[in-house]
């Protein structure tokens, strides 16, 4: 049954979610469990979008609407749509907001958030110009179909108008997690960090599977056999920090073994490229013995690889 009570002093703000993807559905349920009334889930005017929205809407007692039919009586709008759609969706909702506003009546909508990790709060400028405080609120977590990640320990990065970020902080605190503020000039660097933490980590894991195949281990077996050491490394990193979790030939300064690796991986140039990049990063930031000898070895290998790539390009 849909809750319809109005906002009163001391009550939590009501929320409308824009979008019906993995993050939108997750947030709608999480906020509802934290005591927030979800009034509407705003989606595209298509059967597919409406169908996707029905399940989360039923769970939280919200109404499924489009930008053209939304009532927009919630205190806060939270946009969970693809980055490329945020600005246009915000403009459509701003147009709708002007249609539903009545003279002499106080507006309910006060805040708007979007969840892009890469884009600034300025994507919601049409709402800002209409008098709504706006911000970006990005959870440092991956949301993909078929998974149900926990919010436990997940931080939200906030950037935007102080009134909107203050409202977001309270909501995020009610979800039982932390938030931190970002300068607008640091948003791209933040998103690079977030990208390295998940999508590019997966790129490394795929490369790891290729390295295992070079050792004659099938991809599915490699994934299963690699997980114990990967999970233990992450546990060590969490408990001990990077320096005290570091092991293997580099920390021992075993130049001969690293040279054997590089020689063997010449048959797998993509894996070799990643091995070289990570080994050089280890030399910069982790405790390594025989650093000069290893630097020479890796430097020579990088130059050889660059020459090989140049020759390949020239042949084309």
Closest residue by Cα to residue 135 from 108, 164, 157, 102: 164
pTM: 0.87
Q: Is the pLDDT of residue 129 over 50?
A: yes
Per-residue pLDDT of 147-185, as tens digits, reads 888 888 899 999 999 999 999 999 999 999 999 999 999
pLDDT of res. 146:
82
Structure confidence at residue 104 as a pLDDT band (50, 70, 90): low
**15-186 belongs to which CATH class?**
alpha beta
Closest residue by Cα to residue 187 from 241, 119, 250: 119
The Cα 156–Cα 228 span in angstroms is 29
Q: Cα angle at 76 between 176 and 118, to 5 degrees? A: 75
Task: Write out the residue limits of the CATH 3.40.50.720 domain(s) in the chain.
Answer: 15-186
The contacts of residue 269 (CB under 8 Å, 6+ apart) are 305, 308
Residue 110: strand, helix, or coil: coil
Strand partners, 171: none
């Amino acid at each position: 049954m849909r809750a319809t009570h109005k906002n009163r002093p001391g009550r939590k703000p009501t929320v409308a979610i824009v979008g019906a993807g993995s993050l939108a559905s997750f947030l709608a349920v999480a906020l509802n469990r934290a005591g927030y009334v979800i009034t509407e889930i705003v989606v595209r005017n298509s059967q597919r979008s409406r169908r996707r929205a029905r399940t989360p809407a039923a769970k939280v007692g919200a109404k499924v609407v489009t930008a053209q039919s939304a009532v927009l009586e919630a205190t806060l709008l939270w946009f969970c749509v693809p980055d490329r759609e945020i600005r246009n969706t915000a403009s459509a909702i701003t147009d709708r907001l002007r249609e539903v506003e009545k003279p002499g009546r106080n507006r309910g909508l006060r805040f708007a958030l979007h969840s892009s990790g890469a884009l600034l709060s300025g994507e919601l400028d049409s709402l800002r110009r209409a008098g709504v405080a706006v911000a970006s609120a990005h959870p440092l977590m991956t949301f993909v179909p078929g998974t149900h990640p926990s919010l436990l320990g997940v931080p939200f990065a906030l950037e935007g108008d102080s009134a909107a970020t203050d409202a977001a902080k309270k909501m995020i605190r009610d979800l039982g997690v932390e938030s931190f503020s970002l300068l607008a000039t640091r948003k791209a660097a933040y998103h690079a960090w977030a990208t390295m933490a998940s999508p590019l980590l997966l790129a490394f894991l795929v490369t790891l599977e290729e390295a295992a195949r070079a050792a004659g281990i099938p991809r599915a077996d490699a994934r299963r056999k690699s997980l114990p050491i990967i999970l233990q490394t992450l546990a060590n990193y969490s408990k001990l920090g990077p320096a005290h979790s570091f092991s293997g030939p580099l920390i021992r300064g075993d130049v001969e073994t690293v040279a054997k690796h590089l020689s063997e991986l010449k048959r797998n140039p993509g894996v070799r490229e990643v091995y070289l990049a990570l080994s050089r990063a280890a030399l910069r930031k982790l405790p390594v013995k025989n650093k000069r000898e290893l630097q020479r070895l890796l430097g020579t290998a990088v130059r050889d690889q660059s020459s090989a790539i140049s020759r390949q390009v020239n042949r084309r």
